[in-house]
């Protein structure tokens, strides 16, 4: 739902211009957190087979971890979003 809202907002930002950065950052954070959790749980359920090269679970974990760290720490992004929301409400 967040991804679809971000996509719709990007296509038609009229009246919601100040929300674009917040929605995109929140969507990125939630998607990467979910990918890491999903990949980790699936790997744990599959046992050692979850780490094999032909298994896509390993790619989900790798992609989630790169989203958590390399593209910007999610905690910092979420703090930025909260700061922006608080400054807009003042």
Closest CA relative to residue 28, chosen from 61, 64, 62 = 64
Tell whether the model's pLDDT for residue 88 goes beyond 60: yes
- Chain centroid to CA 50: how far? 22
pTM: 0.68
- Convert the pLDDT of each residue in 30-62 to its tens digit: 888 888 888 788 778 877 666 666 666 767 777
pLDDT band at 70 (very low <50, low <70, confident <90, very high): low
The share of the chain scoring above pLDDT 90, in percent, equals 0
Segments forming the whole domain that contains residue 80:
2-89
Distance between CA atoms of residues 39 and 86, nearest Å = 34
Residue 49: its pLDDT value, please? 67
Distance between CA atoms of residues 64 and 31, nearest Å = 8
Question: What is the token pair recorded at 49?
Answer: 């087979």
Residue 54: its pLDDT value, please? 64
Distance between CA atoms of residues 29 and 74, nearest Å = 5
| Count of domains for the chain | 1
């Amino acid at each position: 739902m967040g991804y679809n809202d971000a996509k719709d907002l990007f296509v038609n930002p009229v009246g919601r211009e100040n929300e674009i950065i917040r929605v995109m950052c929140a969507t990125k954070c939630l998607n990467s957190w979910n990918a890491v959790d999903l990949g980790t749980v699936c790997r744990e359920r599959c046992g050692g087979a979850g780490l094999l090269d032909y298994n896509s679970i390993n790619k989900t974990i790798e992609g989630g971890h790169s989203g958590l760290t390399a593209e910007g720490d999610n905690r910092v992004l979420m703090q930025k979003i909260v700061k922006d929301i608080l400054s807009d409400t003042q």
